[in-house]
Amino acid sequence: MIHVQGVCKTYGRQTVLKGVDWHVQRGEFWGIIGPNGSGKTTLLNLLSGVERPEAGDISLVGKSLPSYGRKALSRKLAVLQQDGLPPMAFPVRQVLEMGRFPFQNWRGQETGDGAAALLDEIVNRLDLQGLENKPLHVLSGGQRQRVALGKVMAQQPEVVLLDEPTTYLDIHYQMQFMELISSWQQAEQLTVIAVMHDLNLAALYCDKLLALREGKVVARGKPSEIIAPEIVKSLFEVDSYAVMHPDRQVPQLLLRNEHGI
């Protein structure tokens, strides 16, 4: 689905990504983890086509990423940033309709009558009933993030890129959001790639993890292989314990203090 080969990215004199090789299969849910400044968001920007590497190549479904036009790429791939949507005055329904841009002509019109039914389905799936006519700026952070997800869902992509999607959400909305992403991914066989700071959430919801440090891939594999004290130590320079989640049977981290207590 996605091939990343020998990718390097430099800003001025600073090399942010150094020869990254990576292969993502269709339908996989990958989490990208690593300390601040390791190149996680830069890699996501390259995958989205917003930026281009100085060296190496990224291909999507067998075609080099730069060969896609704007609308053609938007039909394949969608991006949700960590702050979702700004608190603007557009009503919720209109924001969802913006996700149909890849399928509209130059006058903003879409042929066929399936869009309205699709948006109704999204409203029901994301529990946005009663909010459709409300301006975005009166919604809570969790509600705005659901609308942002709805806009991405309206795009009907094959690949979804998420940049720290739960950063500004409390625990309840973090779990709610990740459950929505997971159920959508499984229902549509989407390929999802998410930059994650919370390693426990990453272990709960991601099939595989890619660990970066100083622009290089230091580990990749299933959460059971990556969420391990020695790897966490090498990435973040912290000591930890890994315990199995009693329901999901995936590792969860417990941090140790400097005295090992």
**Per-residue pLDDT tens for 156-179?**
999 999 999 888 889 998 999 999
**φ and ψ at residue 170, rounded to 5 degrees:** -75, 175
Runs of H (alpha helix) within 111-170: 114-125, 141-154
**Per-residue pLDDT tens for 4-41?**
999 999 999 999 999 999 999 999 999 999 999 999 99
Predicted pLDDT of residue 252: 96
Has residue 216 been placed in a domain? yes
Domain CATH number, residue 136: 3.40.50.300
Q: What is the mean pLDDT of residues 141-153?
A: 91
Element (H, E) at 1: none
Do the bridges between strand 191-195 and strand 159-163 make them parallel or antiparallel, or are there none, so unpaired? parallel
Has residue 261 been placed in a domain? no
Has residue 67 been placed in a domain? yes
118: tokens are: 């699709």
In this structure, the number of other CB atoms found within 10 A of the CB of residue 31 comes to 26
238: tokens are: 């912290």
* Residue 27 CB-density burial (10 A; 0-12 exposed, 13-18 middle, 19+ buried): middle
Choose among 166, 173, 231, 223: nearest CA to 200: 223
Has residue 260 been placed in a domain? no
Has residue 32 been placed in a domain? yes
Contact 191, 61 (CB under 8 A): no
Residue 259 has pLDDT above 80, yes or no: no
Contact 206, 160 (CB under 8 A): no
Report how far residue 175's alpha carbon sits from residue 166's, in angstroms, rounded to the nearest whole number.
9
Residue 84 has pLDDT above 70, yes or no: no
Residue 86 has pLDDT above 80, yes or no: no
Amino acid at 100: R
**Per-residue pLDDT tens for 68-82?**
998 899 999 999 987
Look at residue 53 and give its three-state secondary structure. Answer: coil
Task: Specify the number of domains making up the chain.
Answer: 1
Predicted pLDDT of residue 112: 66
What predicted TM-score, i.e. pTM, was given to this entire model?
0.92
Residue 83 has pLDDT above 80, yes or no: no
Q: Which domain holds residue 112?
A: 2-255
Has residue 245 been placed in a domain? yes
Residue 104 has pLDDT above 90, yes or no: no
